[in-house]
Amino acid sequence: MDKKIIWIDMDGVLVDLRSVIETSLEDTTSRNYRRYRECPDHIPGIFRNPKPIEGAIDAVWELEKSGKYDLYIATAAPWGNPYAATDKRFWIEEYFGDQFRKKIAITHLKHLLIGDYLIDDRLMNGAGEFGQITNRGIHIHFGSEKFPDWDAVLKYLL
């Protein structure tokens, strides 16, 4: 049986980046607020230790255990934060060990990825055009009405 390929975005899908950004910018008199309020993803270390999205870790392990899919991570790293890619890799290893070893794409060109599914909460960085070049692939718009959470995604995929 050929396994289908799933690409999984990080921020807003696996990682609750919004909460850590809100915490980092809650003091409107702070240096972080003044310097990064327009581009909070440039805050040094912002990607290192955020909490996972509720249900995300268990859902990924459930997809893995199903044996139906080859899982990969596709994430964008802001150009203005040179440590973001490294911090994201450390985060992945903390929660998934070696599961995604050499199965990570850092890209702003998700429309060029080849696969059957892309689970992403946004349409940016090519996510909205996923599958159009190859005539293959479905964008699972995480957080949308159809896929509001990981339970809905698992119900669709399993």
Known catalytic residue at 9: yes
Residue 119 token pair: 């689970």
In the chain, what is the straight-line distance between the N-terminal and C-terminal CA atoms, in Å? 15
Residue 91 and residue 13: Cα distance in Å, rounded? Answer: 13
Q: Which residues of 69-86 are buried (b: 16+ CB within 10 A; e: fewer)?
A: bebbbbbbbbeebeebbe
143: left (phi over 0), alpha (psi -120 to 50) or beta: left
Annotated catalytic residue, options 2, 11, 87, 121: 11
Active site residues: 9, 11
